[in-house]
Structure formats: C-alpha cells, structure tokens
Chain A
Amino acid sequence: QWNQQGHDEL
C-alpha cells in the first residue's frame, strides 16, 4: 500500500 513518508515516484 501507499508509503507513509510521501511518494517516492515522479
């Protein structure tokens, strides 16, 4: 699921 520390993809 979505990672808590923000989005790592562009």
Chain B
Amino acid sequence: MNVFRLTGDLSHLVAIILLLLKIWKTRSCAGISGKSQVMFALVFTTRYLDLFTNFISPYNSVMKVIYLGCSYATVYMIYMKFKASYDGNHDTFRAEFLIIPVGGLAFLVNHEFTPLEILWTFSIYLESVAILPQLFMITKTGEAETITTHYLFALGLYRALYLINWIWRYYFEGFFDLIAIVAGCVQTILYCDFFYLYITKVLHGKKLSLPA
C-alpha cells in the first residue's frame, strides 16, 4: 500500500458517499445517470466475487463491502425510492453499446481464461467507460449541480491517483498490470474535459454549464 493508492481509495470513497448523500439529502436524483450507477454496481459485483475466497486484508474487505453496499443503495434510490426525480429523458446513452463490446474484449484480452479472471477483467474494462452515460447526460442537460461536479471530480481523481500508484509499484515493487493500467488511462482521459471545466468554472464559484 502506498500513499497514492490510499488517497485514491479515499477519493473514490468520498465520491461514492458524496453521491449517496446528495440523493438522500435532496431526496432527488436529478442530473444523475442511473445507467452509470447500474454499471458501477456491476463493476463492483464482478470485481469483488473473491470477497469471501481471497482475503487480502481487513482494509481491503471492509472497503469492498462499503463499495458494494453504497453502489446498490444508490441504484435502489435512483430506480425505486426517488424514482419520480429520475430524469430518464436525458439518461439516454445506450449502455449496451458499452457492456457488450467490453464483455467481448474481456474474453479476448485477459490474464487468465478462468471465470473469475474474465469477470475481473470485464469489471476493469467496464469501469473505464462506465462514466460515459453520466458525462453524456450532462452534455444533454447542458449543466450539472455543483455537488454532482464534486462527485465527478473525486471519482475522476481516484483513478488518476491509481495511475501514479502503478508507477510507484512498478518502480519500487516491479509490479505492473497492463490491463488495469491501459483501462485506467482510458478512464482518466475521459475525465479530462470535465476536469478542465471543473477547475476553470466550479473552482471559481461558477456553475458548470455547457454551451447547449
């Protein structure tokens, strides 16, 4: 464990909690893409199947349970509890155009052709594109609530910190996982234009609005 991975995990945790609180406090999931949240729940489900079979550390197990619990709670709140506020008309990204190619790629490019490893690879590839429906929704609505931009910033920052973690681990441990690194680069690159808008607008007290 190194400081970049730890801060990355904490940034990820902050993002997940921020979103949960936003929906719970405002009792509304306006501006939130349910499709992205379903994909994140799928990412955690397929990645943490080894929760009971492969014990790494108390920290690792606790975080996995928190991620799984929060992601399902978020999906539940979007599609059931606060369903009336779900903005389905703007959440129109075709998720199957992501899940099917990612599923196929996981079969073709993986470390080991076993069910658990293919599902893990699927979760890594899916996570790299899971935010697309959310970013697409923001372009369709032309704006995002400030709390939602903080959520997205923390979420984008987490994988950027993981990229530094992988440089650190390669240099100090000789460890590298090309699948995770390539997918992590794609994932972080997808946030670049959001990062630019966040830093130039939201951090200057402006609302994030796109030229519709």
Contact = CB atoms under 8 A, between A and B. Distances in A.
Interface string B30-70: 00000000000000000100100010100010011001000
B12 A6 contact: no
B96 interface: no
Interface in A1-10: 1-3, 5-10
Interface residues of B, number: 20
A2 B9 contact: no
B9 A10 contact: yes
B8 to A, nearest CB: 9
SS class of chain A's interface: helix, strand, loop or mixed? loop
Contact of A10 (B54, B67, B176, B177): B67
Nearest to A5: B54
A7 B50 CA distance: 9
Given A1-B176, A2-B111, A3-B175, A10 B50 contact: no
A3 B111 CA distance: 10
Give the one of A1, A3, A8, A10 with max B CB within 10 A: A10
11 contacts: A2-B177, A5-B54, A6-B50, A7-B50, A8-B60, A9-B162, A9-B180, A10-B9, A10-B12, A10-B63, A10-B67
Given A6-B56, A9-B162, 18 more contacts: A1-B175, A1-B177, A2-B111, A2-B177, A2-B179, A3-B175, A5-B54, A6-B50, A6-B54, A7-B50, A7-B120, A7-B177, A8-B56, A8-B60, A9-B180, A10-B9, A10-B60, A10-B67
Q: Report the 3 A-B pairs with minimum CB-CB distance, sorted nearest first.
A: A6-B54, A2-B111, A8-B56
Interface of A: 1-3, 5-10
